[in-house]
Structure 1
Amino acid sequence: MKEVKSYKSIHTLLQFILYLGFAVLFLGCLDLHSETKPDHQFQQSVYLLDRYYFWSSEEVLDPNSIPNNVWRKMKPNELGMESKESQYLYVKFSDQFIRQLKSPVLSIGIALEQFKIFQGSELVFESKLHDHIFPYIIPLKQDPSGSLIIQFHSRYRGFIGMDREVFFKDHSQALVDLFLDNFSETFFAPILLILSIIFFGFYFLRKREIIFLNFSILLFSASLIEVLNGFVGFSLSQFSYFVIPLAFFNFAFFPFALLLFLIGIFPPFFRNLFKAIAVLHLFVFFISLVNNYENGISFLNSENDYDWIIIFEGIVAIFSSVYVLIKGNKNLQTITFGLLFIVVGGLHDILIDLGFLNYGVRLIHYSFIMMMVLFGFYVFKHYWQLLQSISRMNAELRNKNKELQRLIQIDKDLALAHALQKSLLSSKYNEDERIRIIGFSQNLESVGGDYFDHTKDSMGNWAILMADVSGHGISSAMVAAMSKMAFVGASAYLQFPSRVFHSMNRHLVGKTKNLFITASYVFIDTESFTATFSNAGHPGFFLIRNSESEVIHLNVKGKPLGLFSHLPYAEETVKLQSGDKILLYTDGIFDLLNEAGDSFGEEKLKSLLWDNRYQKFQDLAKVIQDSLFKFSVGWKYQMDDLSFLLVEIK
């Protein structure tokens, strides 16, 4: 069992921010789209009304004067269409729903251009904003006049009309719905901003690590995309002359910031490719702004003109990611998956805007979150490794002289401690006419905190204990010796596992100096073929039975020994069959690492046991030992003491 070391406060802060971000993402996923909202909102949807449209080459001052026979019915789920040059679009529908509302408003998801709203013959609202991509909440008259008519006149070439949801609502409910619909975006933006500042600070601590600066810029751009959205965009409508250009410039800047970040991460070939694409991106963006200058820049038309370069960048990013994944570069896997999230989400939403896909759930917000979490994990891991390497170097320099003087004496002490500890352990092989037992132990140092014991009572039943003292080394070995004595003192209760742990805990509390012992205990009744077991904060044990469909994990709850007095311990009983095998182990097996830094883990151990379930007993024990040895390259990457006991029922 590894000792728990205290982390830096900055590590704890970042963990809190990332977990909070995941929680907000989950809450946001619960309400992805208006189609999942309660039925009462559908009853107020404009899309459920008959809608009619009329094109005019000149502005009609009183739309009510337009003859009824020229109005044409719109298609279902439509409030707009492809624009026509120098043409006005009029859309008419009933306003009878407002009778049900105390303070009626028209809640509009997105309107892309200037428009006017007439309730009957009266002009009730006029928008003077260009390229507006934020929601509207427009007050209406309490008394219905029979129809609402909206006049559109757009310089946006791609579309004229309204996009997304349009509802009749009460004013207060519209504000609440707008806030809730955009809660996760609004809340996640300051998290991204805080992370941006943190990684900007990392850059000043390590100025040679440009990755921190690039990631800080990427986070800042993402925070602007998140915050200049929905509810916040609506709240800042009075500053639209500033907010709208900022939003559109940032939409174009984010892919560039992403390319800058990837340039510092990917292999040389892709690095040069991304540099070329970044230059091309800026060139296309500024050309699109110049081409769409008409009484001021038309950002929406400009966005359409450089969408193709975003699609091209996305395709290149996908191929680059696939190449990296095929090559098996594990250091880049986290970055690659994050890149795929944002690229797929961005391409999906662009294809919706271009009309290649029908409108549905927009993925970009959730792609942002997943990308930033994965990118943040990679960058922070990089930073944490730097801190650890510096800390290790300083510690080694401080202790080198002292260690040289103590080595000889330590070697003698360890050799003696190793011999003493070896005498405490039960034999590594035992057998009678009912069961077989094979044990294995590999300490991280000369002595360790793992300890196992097996003993046979006068009735031929077996008591089997696997224990693990926190930490490793001499102090853990001493506590392991104390637990051995405590177990011997509990020999009168061997057939009652819970009482064994109660007795051991009573003898150990207050004597282990902040160290504690986790343990798993099994009492095998060879007459009734049952195993009664109890647990003290240990991972439990595995039962391998050929007639089952998988390895069975057996465990009961219980607190570690040596921490608190008067603790109750539960116990359970399981029926055994001839040929059953039981594996008790310590968590040092799970913490075993390979060259790539991957841990052995519980699932790998279960798969190993299941794949070799038909092996002979001694062969299975050898397979487990050899697999652990090979995985860690001859115990080179062992992180903790590890032990196991394999028991077979004959």
Structure 2
Amino acid sequence: MKEVKSYKSILIQFQFVLFFLGIFLIQNCFDLHSESKQESQLQQSIYLIDRYYFWSSEEILDPETISKDQWLPIGNNSLGFKTKEKEFLYIKFSDQFIRQLQSPILYSEIAIETLKVFQGKDIVYITKDLDFIFPHLIALNPEPKGNIIIQFQSRYNGFIGMDREVIFKNHSQALIDLFMDNFLKTFFAPILLVLSIIFLGFYFLRRKEMIFFNFSILLFSASLIEVLNGFVGFSLRQYAAYIVPITFLNFTFFPFALLLFLISVFPPFFRNLFKLIAIIHIIVFTLSIIQNYESGISFLNSEEDYNWIVVLEACVAIFSSFYVFLKGNRKLREIIIGILIIVITGLHDTLADLEIINHQLRIIHYGFFLMLGFFGYYVFKHYLELLHSINRMNSELRIKNKELQRLIQIDKDLALAHALQKSLLSSKYNEDDKVRIIGFSQNLESVGGDYFDHTKDSMGNWAFLIADVSGHGISSAMVAAMSKMAFVGAGPYLQFPARVFHLMNRHLVGKTKNLFITASYLFIDTESYIATFSNAGHPCFFLIRNSEKEVKQLTAKGKPLGLFSHQSYAEETVSIQPKDKILLYTDGIFDLLNEEGESFGEDRLKSLLWEYRFHNIQDLSSILQDSLFRFSNGWKHQMDDLSFLLVEIK
């Protein structure tokens, strides 16, 4: 089913569009201030006065000495020319209009060259500022001197002279007009700066959200462009050595900041593309600065060199925006609209600077308002989604905390079960003057189903039991505890292995819930050196005798405990000798795997026992433990509980 937008969502977007239409209308209202005096301004415009120019290869200290026939008329709507290398340009026009003004000034919107202004023979204005793009307000003598002559000396490759409006005005009116024309920029800049600080705070609160950091940088760069490109920049002209480089560097940095923001928003393919373009942007700008280093860096000349990368970035951004839009990524629709607005307006002004299209109106600032509005809407929406996700995460965290508390309690219970199981087992080392015993157990989990036991009767004879409950974990550990109790109950019959298993089986049948126990039992008469043993479905045990040719296997028939009632078990006997060693073990040793998936196996165990048969029992036990540990790479490939009991006859 097609998703239907909620009324609230549509209303928010509608209000958002109305807000920016209102900003646009406010800007136009401010422009009406000057439009209301359009007729009077046209009467004051230098373009309505006859204008003349003269080129000179040398500086003329008194331009009044230039003869009339050397002055050439300038065509309509022009006060500038293509630069001629190492030549001075002089422009002359009448100053008779200043009679109508109380405090006359010559207002020039842009004159980027170093210039001198003569009123008659008097020098009324000198500037040596390089790449100065802010207006000039040139105070004039209220008494006409006949002509105003301006001397230009430019190192800018593209243009020399004055551009756009050049008007005679009253000084106070010029300041008011300049402020009103740039009011919205001046007002908007601190708002952008505050928003930049806010989103920087969002970034520090959520360090992984680079979108906030990149958007903060973009806002900061936009605030500098807005504040320094108007009335404030003009007011700080005494600091032009600092303001001009900051302004030009920021003009170059803003596209880079925009790329950083797009990198944090767009899909991976375009993200990598924007990263590549960002690197190219930095390289081209650096090379253009180095190339145009002549008695100080010329930013305007370098701008001519790197404007093409801005055009390339614009084309890529437009293509990628349309591609993502056509793919139907609804989450990025505000970003796409914002990108198209700023890219198209910026591309228009860049192409105008390159004189590819005719300049009518600079629209980049309108693009700023709309772009940052759409971007801001997206980031705030992203922040709200983030808050909702944090709330969801908090809810999930509370649930996880409850689950964690439950798991902690389970761990405590497991630790207690482990301690209880250890208390049920016999010690891992024991000996007297006839027998020495060493045991080892490695559970797959905290508790397991393997256990061994050894005890003496009143005559000093030894009984040994090793058992393995099917499965592993808590249930197996509980059955192992039951089995231990059953073995303790068979204590009066230790010298009869078959009787011990019969009694244990009778106590366990019907109580193990489909679990069963395999076991080996060995009774050693220390006076006669006769060992009697029985087996309940368990692997055989090994007799290691130095005088034999190989390890001897000892086994007897019998089914596991806990499965069948009235089960009988066979008994076997074997004579033993001093220095004999006997190994009882569980099948977890055979099931142990290495990294290649090979099992330890019975043959490997027998070979190990035979190779180290002459070692004492402590060394043999350590060798066996270490071999198992290394084979499984630190028990990483253990598949089941494993245990062994090593007995040595003294």
TM-score range, shorter chain: 0.5 to 0.7
Q: Deviations over 1:165-221 (max 9, x none)?
A: 111111110100000010111111111101100100000111110100000000000
Q: Identify the residue that residue 27 of structure 1 maps to in structure 2.
A: 26
Q: Residues 163 and 31 of structure 1: is their aligned pair in 2 closer, same or farther, counting only changes over 3 Å?
A: farther
Give the deviation of 1:388 after TM superposition: 1.7
Cα displacement (A) at 1:26: 2.8
Q: 1:229 to 1:18 in 2, by over 3 A?
A: farther
Report the 3-state secondary structure (helix = DSSP H, G, I; strand = E; otherwise coil) of the residue aligned with 2:53.
Answer: strand
Q: For residue 229 of structure 1, what is the aligned residue in structure 2?
A: 229
**Alpha-carbon distance in 1 for matches of 2:385, 2:149:** 63
What amino acid is the match of 2:177? Answer: D
- Report the counterpart of residue 336 of structure 1 in structure 2: 336
Aligned twin of 1:259: 259
| Shift in Å, 1:375 | 0.6
Give, in whole Å, the separation in 1 of the partners of 2:230 and 2:73: 30
1:448-494 per-residue CA deviation (whole Å, 9 max, x = no partner) reads xxxxxxxxxxxxxxxxxxxxxxxxxxxxxxxxxxxxxxxxxxxxxxx
Query: In terms of Rg, which structure is larger?
Result: 2
User: 1:38 Cα shift?
Assistant: 2.5
> Is the 1:135–1:233 contact (alpha carbons within 8 Å) kept by the matching residues of 2?
no
Q: Is the 8 A contact 2:292 2:298 kept in 1?
A: yes
Deviation at 1:229, TM superposition (A): 1.2
Q: Would the aligned equivalents of 1:119 and 1:149 in 2 still touch at CA under 8 Å?
A: yes
Match of 1:45 in 2: 45
Aligned position for 1:560: none
Partner of 2:383: 383
- CA shift for structure 1 position 396: 7.3
Give the distance between the partners of 1:394 and 1:377, measured in 2 at CA: 25
- Superposed displacement of residue 387, structure 1: 0.5
Q: Report the Cα offset of residue 39 of structure 1.
A: 1.2
Q: Is the 8 A contact 1:105 1:170 kept in 2?
A: yes
Cα distance change, pair 18–123 in 1 and its aligned pair in 2 (3 A): farther
TM-score if structure 2 supplies the norm length? 0.58
- The alignment partner of 1:167 has SS state of strand
| Preserved contact between residue 349 and residue 364 of structure 1 (Cα < 8 Å) | yes
**Separation in 2, partners of 1:18, 1:214:** 24
2:208 corresponds to which residue? 208
The aligned runs of 1:177-576 (5 Å cut-off) are: 177-394=177-394
Matched residue of 1:295: which SS?
coil
Taking the aligned partners of 1:16 and 1:228, their CA distance within structure 2 comes to: 30
* Rounded Cα–Cα distance in structure 1 between residues aligned with 2:342 and 2:139: 37
Q: Give secondary structure in 2 for the equivalent of 1:161.
A: strand
Secondary structure of 1:169's aligned partner = strand
Q: Which digits, 9 at most, give the CA deviation of each residue in 1:245-269, with x for residues without a partner?
A: 0001111111111001101111111
- Contact conserved, 1:99 with 1:142, CA < 8 A, in 2? yes
Partner SS state of residue 30, structure 1:
helix
Paired residue type of 1:177? D
1-side partners of 2:227 and 2:193: how far apart?
10
Partner of 1:99: 99
Does the aligned pair in 1 maintain the 2:109–2:163 contact within 8 Å?
A: yes
Match of 2:137 in 1: 137
Aligned residue type for 1:65:
T
Task: Indicate how the Cα distance of structure 1 residues 16 and 97 shifts in structure 2: closer, same or farther if over 3 A, else same.
Answer: farther
Decide whether the 8 Å contact of 2:20 with 2:370 is kept in 1.
no
Q: Tell me the CA shift for residue 47 of structure 1.
A: 1.2
Q: Counterpart amino acid of 2:90?
A: Y
Counterpart check, 1:75 vs 2:75: yes
* 8 A Cα contact 1:47 1:77, kept in partner: yes
Following the alignment from structure 2 to structure 1, what is the Cα–Cα distance between the partners of residues 38 and 86?
40
Q: C-alpha separation between the residues in 1 aligned to 2:380 and 2:43?
A: 49
For 1:125, the equivalent position in structure 2 comes to 125
Equivalent position of 1:573 in the other structure = none
Q: What is the Cα deviation at residue 22 of structure 1?
A: 6.2
Q: Distance in 1 between matches of 2:36 and 2:339?
A: 29
Aligned-partner Cα distance in 1 for 2:75–2:230 = 27
Deviation at 1:20, TM superposition (A): 7.7
Q: What is the deviation of 1:21?
A: 7.1
CA contact 1:117–1:149 (8 Å) conserved in 2: yes
Which digits, 9 at most, give the CA deviation of each residue in 1:145-184, with x for residues without a partner?
A: 1211110000000100111211111111010000001011
Query: CA–CA distance in 2 between the matches of 1:391 and 1:27?
Result: 40
Give SS of 1:43's match. helix
Aligned mates of 1:202, 1:21 — CA distance in 2:
25
Distance 2:163 2:279 in 1: 33
Change (3 A) 1:18 1:250: farther
| Cα distance, 1:394 vs structure 2 | 3.5
Asked if structure 2 preserves the Cα contact closer than 8 Å seen for 1:25 and 1:184, the reply is no
Structure 2's unaligned 5+ residue stretches are 1-6, 403-650
**Is the 8 Å Cα contact of residues 105 and 138 (structure 1) preserved in structure 2?**
yes
**Structure with more relative contact order (C-alpha pairs < 8 Å, separation 6 or more):** 1
Counterpart for residue 109 of structure 1: 109
Amino acid at match of 1:38: Q
Distance 1:139 1:399, change over 3 A: same
Q: In the TM superposition, what whole-angstrom CA distance separates every residue of 1:27-59 from its partner, at most 9, and x where no partner exists? A: 113355977852111111111111111111111
- Check the 8 A contact 1:24/1:187 in 2, yes or no: no
| Counterpart Cα distance in 1 of 2:41 and 2:185 | 22
User: TM-score, normalized by length of structure 1?
Assistant: 0.58
Letter in 1 for 2:302: S
Question: Does the Cα contact within 8 Å between 1:106 and 1:166 map onto a contact in 2?
Answer: yes
Tell me the amino acid that sits aligned with residue 385 of structure 1: E
Helix, strand or coil for the counterpart of 1:109? strand
For the residue of structure 1 that corresponds to 2:107, the secondary structure is strand
1:282-331 per-residue CA deviation (whole Å, 9 max, x = no partner) reads 00000000000011101110111101110111111111111112212111
Structure 1 unaligned runs (5+)? 6-11, 403-650
Q: Taking every aligned residue pair, what percent have the same amino acid on both sides?
A: 60
Q: Secondary structure of 2:44's match?
A: coil
Query: Residues 37, 273 of structure 1: CA spacing in aligned structure 2 closer, same or farther, 3 A cutoff?
Result: farther
CA 1:231–1:166 in structure 2 vs 1: closer, same or farther (change >3 Å)?
same
Say which SS state the counterpart of residue 286 (structure 2) adopts: helix
Partner of 1:593: none
Deviation at 1:77, TM superposition (A): 1.2
- Cα RMSD (Å): 2.7
> Partners of 2:117 and 2:15 in 1: how far apart?
47
- Tell me by how many angstroms 1:391 deviates: 2.4
Moved more, 310-319 or 384-393: 384-393
Q: Is the 8 A contact 1:182 1:231 kept in 2?
A: yes
CA distance in 2, matches of 1:128, 1:140: 19
Question: Given residue 29 of structure 2, which amino acid in structure 1 is its aligned partner?
Answer: L
Q: SS of 1:84's equivalent?
A: coil
What are the superposed Cα offsets for residues 317-376 of structure 1, whole Å, 9 maximum, x if unpaired?
A: 111111112212111111011011111111111111111222211011010111100011
CA distance in 1, matches of 2:15, 2:194: 12
What letter corresponds to residue 147 of structure 2 in structure 1?
S
Aligned to 2:431: none
Question: Does the 8 Å contact 2:118/2:150 carry over to 1?
Answer: yes
* Residue aligning to 2:517: none
